[in-house]
Structure 1
Amino acid sequence: MSGSEDPNSIGRRSFLQRGAAVGTLAVLPTSLLAACGSGGETVGGTTAGGSGGAAVADAIGGFSHNFREMDPHVGVDVTTYTVGWHVHEGLMDLNPVTREVELGLAAADPEEVRENVWQVRLRDGATFHDGTPVRASDVVFSFERIRNPETASFFISYLDFIRSARAVDDTTVEFTLRQPFALFRNRLIFIRVVPEAIVARDARAMSTRPVGTGPYAFVELAANDHITLRRAARYSGPKRAPYGTITLRAMEDISARLAALRASEIGVMEDPADRDLDSLARQSGIRTTSEPGFNQTILMFNHARRPFDDKRVRQAIMYGLDREALVRSVYAGNGSVAESLIPSTYPGFARPSTVYTYDPERARALLAEAGHDGGLDFELMVNSLSYIGEQGPFIKEQLAAAGLNANLRMGDSSALFERVSAGEYGAFITVSDTSVFGQDPDLWLRYIYSGAFARQFLYWDTPQTREVLRLLDGALYETDEAKQQAAWARIQGIVAEEAVCPSLIHRSQPTAWRDSLAGFQPINTTGLYFLQAA
């Protein structure tokens, strides 16, 4: 299998359910439940006291999403990652606070023992949460499970550079690469290690009751309500678990999360409204931050459907958008106009020669060139998720000035993506954040512009598509950093010129939490993170 094949070689519906979840986070109605745990008195979203009189604090977070797949080899949505950061480990792990790749189960960085042959030694005393020791054979099993097509793992194509893996002994894993690969260390974060003995008995065990090696062990899932994790007694790694238990309460309604934080029913609120940040910051006992990151509004086009098969129409829509005004009005200044999929502060960014500014007259001229000199009516689907949905009326008004009549169809991402999956759409505004996958320009670009997403959601299959794939595959194994960056820059130039799934706005990730949640550190990506460095 080459790196240019569809991720997982899975069908459209399966990719919709798994691969697109991070890019389009559905928010479903839920109820609320207080945390389980040490039995102390709840104060400011934490619980004081604990068994044996030990000082234990229990963190309660207001989670803006419903709970989905927790199997780290199958799911890729925000639930998978939030739970996975705490419960599971790879040989290497991404720290979402620092954005650095750090040691997970590995005792040290991989060591090249022969050309294209690398060994990784497991840390001493590593155990699964059921008390069984972690063995190198569990790592090999986890790798083989990911690349088994029956698992339908999203990560299969991102580990294709590994030819084979074997257990040298109980504590050493050996990987043979197909050829030199500069991103090897980074990609090891995808091999989340699961216990072979449990998964071999029940392939779906990790989906509902995950067992890992991380600082927290899974306790329970109440569907549509809450997830509870407890500090793992046998954890032997470098991360620190500062809270006795973590409870994530599924709270779709942003007003309910806000009220719960103000009333000290939760200690941290994921994703407060941008317009509420100033008032929250003025309330005693509450802290706020907004971290610049990868989160972005994207505009998907169906390249196989008229008139969006004509790039002049796609370009006209981009020139018809006043994105600076959207940042001011909808985002309350908490964002920036995107020039590329990759934010300018992230590795791999290159400013394309085609940058879309607000220019209604140019938009009208492009429409006329495309045969729509009388203007154009079209349906624009808009994800109803909070700040995304709020943009709909503003965008409709902006486009009207350019001769574009956008008939809005609002809805949650699950319903709208059913139409996308069936090819029954023209244009769709939604949200994407692939930074949860790591600090990896190849993965960011490949996720959107190649494979299943490009062909099965964007219906983009042109000579430019194949050129992007050629450039991606060439850069993947390139050892000259300058040549690799040049390839990524060329890709960003192509997709900007073609207006392929343009990124509209990079939103800074807001978080609000109470002072009483001691030691909490916000992150600049989707989800909540409760760990601390040792």
Structure 2
Amino acid sequence: MSDRQDPLDTLIARYRAGTIDRRTFLKSAAMLGLGFAAGGALTAAPLAEAAEVKRGGTLRVAAPAAKSIDPLKIDSAGAIAIVQQVGEYLVWAEADLKLRPVLATRWHSTDGGKTWVFELRKGVRFHDGREMTADDVVATFERLVDPNTASVARSQMSFLKPGGTTRIDLYTVQFSLTRPIGQFPYYTQIYNAVILPKDYAGNFAEHPVGTGPFKLVSYQPQQSASYVRNEHYWDSGKPYLDKVQIDLYGGPQPMVLALQGGDADMMLAVSANDAKPLASDHTIHIARAHSSATRLLCMRVDRKPFHDARVREAIALCLNRPAMVKVLLAGAGQVADDNPIAPIFGLNTDVPQRKQDIARARKLLAAAGYPQGFETDLYTGNYLELPQYAVLAQQMLAPAGIRVKLHVEPLNVYYSHWTKVSFGLTDWTGRNTPSQILNAAFSGSSDWNASHWKDPAFDHLVGKLEASTDTRQRNALAHEIAALMLQQTPAAIAYFIDLLRPMNRKVRGVDANMSNYLDLTRAWLS
């Protein structure tokens, strides 16, 4: 990652600091080509003027449909957003990757990353009035790693075994890992790690009890979730809103129309293409965040024709990555190189950038026994730019003789079988550390390994990356991992995206998030 500051970030920082006024901000933004100029890139809209917080009101959020809101099993953006208003994490990663204390106030490792001690916030109460203690935290993490609970978090925390989370005293918890994890605190904010009562019985939809800023009072599967303010929230004075309403939609267009028509105040997320109708609307602000979010074009390495690495490389060589960033993201993203180590992590993978090369792709296919190409089915969900990506990939693969039949499904349908299809395009939310997505998406033991690629050398390298806190060593390991993935190509990874969150300008205190997480603790309506 370059040390040079992004001009947009610099401009925003100057505006926030008060060294330039609103008029200068707008003029400079225009000179930078911000916004939807013809063929230009999408960026954050001008920041709102500082104002005194106004309490009360109902915020209406448009989000994609959710198949389950059991915190142990959530894996879709809509479900995660629903749960995050009720439950909270030990920590929260900010945009600069610094950790903010939430239910934990302090943490440290006693032995170089293998044992971690977390001190808990005192006086926090669940929605049913019980105090949150170490017993609840222990029970939460024990459930996450218990093989009998079928938690989707288990594969992300293979280094934490049953019995590894213990109580030291009423407000102190110890995590004993099987190997050193230098960035373990970030793992306590994975999707599923909201702290639940020790006697949680798996019936979250019927009895949603957490410590969060809002209480879930009504949930209609595939339709909506309604909340009221938690009057006894531990962070005194917050939240500012009286109510929150999350309405669930089957695709992006209805969400855009809801925002335009006044039926929603904000969207959880939107693709650059779907956001275009909003760009000229002076009542809408589009917040933007750099991220490690990406799209994985996964190929089952245990099925023909993708069992041959030459076929997988050929598919990756068909992709015109700069064109994809321009067409699919309106420039709001960065070209990737078939590994998920994003620039925001600050690691230098130092491998050659893969470029489109149809001639070489055809040679590789011929050498693999497919001189005339082949036919295949590509599955994806109807979410953000995934349908447009699928169409573009179909067009880019055709010159090499790869004939693709598209299956664009409702997101909840796609997620019911996404790891079982031979060729699938999946949205991956940004993670706070590279090892989180490397493990979750490509570890040989991961339930989310849609490519079914298993390489002990890869797992070993990722383990060393997890344990290391030395910058030079981490760069060297990142290089080895990137080189191995470039050679094997279990998935084509074309770009990293800047996450976009459109909202009415009356919505304050809400930003875009690098993981598409939704924190409404500070939200208010002007």
Secondary structure (helix, strand or coil) at the match of 1:406 reads strand
Quote the offset at 1:467 in angstroms: 0.9
Does the Cα contact within 8 Å between 2:440 and 2:449 map onto a contact in 1? no
Quote the offset at 1:509 in angstroms: 1.8
Whole-angstrom distance in 1 between the partners of 2:462 and 2:363: 34
Whole-angstrom distance in 1 between the partners of 2:452 and 2:109: 42
Cα distance, 1:340–1:359 mapped onto 2, change above 3 Å:
closer
Alignment correspondent of 1:451: 444
1:439 aligns to 2:432 (yes or no)? yes
Structure 2 matches for 1:21-100, cutoff 5 A? 55-63=55-63, 65-95=64-94, 97-100=95-98
Structure 1, gaps ≥5 residues long? 1-53
Q: How many residues in Structure 1 have an aligned counterpart in Structure 2?
A: 467
Quote the offset at 1:179 in angstroms: 5.6
Does the Cα contact within 8 Å between 1:348 and 1:441 map onto a contact in 2? no
Quote the offset at 1:189 in angstroms: 3.1
Partner AA of 2:334 in structure 1: S
Secondary structure (helix, strand or coil) at the match of 1:298 reads strand
Alignment correspondent of 1:284: 282
RMSD: 3.2
Quote the offset at 1:514 in angstroms: 1.0
Partner AA of 1:518 in structure 2: R
Q: Alignment partner for residue 312 of structure 2, among 307, 314, 329?
A: 314
Alignment correspondent of 2:19: none
> Which whole-Å deviations, capped at 9, do the CAs of 1:206-256 have from their partners, x for residues lacking one?
244321112222222122221112221111138942311111011224332
Alignment correspondent of 1:496: 486
Cα distance, 1:239–1:85 mapped onto 2, change above 3 Å:
farther
Cα distance, 1:439–1:238 mapped onto 2, change above 3 Å:
farther
Partner AA of 2:135 in structure 1: S
Does the Cα contact within 8 Å between 1:344 and 1:350 map onto a contact in 2? no
Partner AA of 1:430 in structure 2: T
1:325 aligns to 2:327 (yes or no)? no
Secondary structure (helix, strand or coil) at the match of 1:431 reads strand
Cα distance, 1:453–1:226 mapped onto 2, change above 3 Å:
same
Cα distance, 1:329–1:233 mapped onto 2, change above 3 Å:
same
Whole-angstrom distance in 1 between the partners of 2:489 and 2:440: 16
Secondary structure (helix, strand or coil) at the match of 2:329 reads coil
Whole-angstrom distance in 2 between the partners of 1:210 and 1:256: 28
Secondary structure (helix, strand or coil) at the match of 1:460 reads coil
Partner AA of 1:88 in structure 2: G
Alignment correspondent of 2:522: 532
Does the Cα contact within 8 Å between 2:349 and 2:476 map onto a contact in 1? no
Whole-angstrom distance in 1 between the partners of 2:448 and 2:223: 35
Partner AA of 2:196 in structure 1: V
Quote the offset at 1:113 in angstroms: 10
Alignment correspondent of 2:265: 267
Does the Cα contact within 8 Å between 1:293 and 1:343 map onto a contact in 2? no
TM-score, structure 1 as length reference: 0.78
Structure 2 matches for 1:114-133, cutoff 5 A? 118-133=116-131
Quote the offset at 1:301 in angstroms: 0.8
Structure 2, gaps ≥5 residues long? 1-53
Secondary structure (helix, strand or coil) at the match of 1:150 reads coil
Quote the offset at 1:481 in angstroms: 4.1
Does the Cα contact within 8 Å between 2:465 and 2:474 map onto a contact in 1? yes
Does the Cα contact within 8 Å between 1:166 and 1:175 map onto a contact in 2? yes
Partner AA of 2:170 in structure 1: D
Partner AA of 1:105 in structure 2: L
> Which whole-Å deviations, capped at 9, do the CAs of 1:341-394 have from their partners, x for residues lacking one?
335422264435353211111212222322333343433334444522223343
Alignment correspondent of 2:194: 192
Identity of counterpart residues, as a percentage?
Answer: 22
Structure 2 matches for 1:385-396, cutoff 5 A? 385=383, 387-396=385-394
Whole-angstrom distance in 2 between the partners of 1:374 and 1:113: 57
Quote the offset at 1:450 in angstroms: 0.9
Whole-angstrom distance in 2 between the partners of 1:114 and 1:429: 38
Q: Alignment partner for residue 467 of structure 1, among 448, 451, 457?
A: 457
Alignment correspondent of 1:224: 222
Does the Cα contact within 8 Å between 2:141 and 2:165 map onto a contact in 1? yes
Cα distance, 1:311–1:111 mapped onto 2, change above 3 Å:
closer
Secondary structure (helix, strand or coil) at the match of 1:129 reads coil
Does the Cα contact within 8 Å between 2:314 and 2:364 map onto a contact in 1? yes
Whole-angstrom distance in 1 between the partners of 2:361 and 2:433: 34
Cα distance, 1:455–1:530 mapped onto 2, change above 3 Å:
closer
Cα distance, 1:60–1:87 mapped onto 2, change above 3 Å:
same
